[in-house]
Amino acid sequence: MQITVNGETVDIADGATLTSLIEQLGLNPKKVAVERNLEIAPKSLYAEIALAEGDRIEIVQFVGGG
C-alpha cells in the first residue's frame, strides 16, 4: 500500500507499523519524531501503530537553527 512520508509517496507492506517504516527508511527511531495524520505518534507506541493506505506521515529531527 501507499502512504505519504514527508511529502513523498512511499510503498510499504500490508500490516506495516511505524517501527517497520522507520526501519525501512534506515532511520534511528531515537533521533526522530513522528506525526501521523497530524497527530503525534509517541515513541513508545511505534510498534503498535499500524499504518493504513493514504496515511500522511511526517518524520522530523533537530537541525541547526537560531
Burial of residue 57 (number of CB atoms within 10 Å: 0-12, 13-18, 19+): buried
Run of H or E residues at 22: helix 18-24
Told to check if 34 binds another protein by CB under 8 A, we report yes
Shortest Cβ 14–another protein spacing (Å): 21
Q: Is 31 in the site for another protein (CB under 8 A)?
A: yes
Phi, psi torsion values for 9, nearest 5 degrees: -75, 130
Binding-site member from 11, 14, 15, 66 for another protein (CB under 8 A): 66
Provide, rounded to whole angstroms, the least separation between the CB of residue 5 and another protein: 6
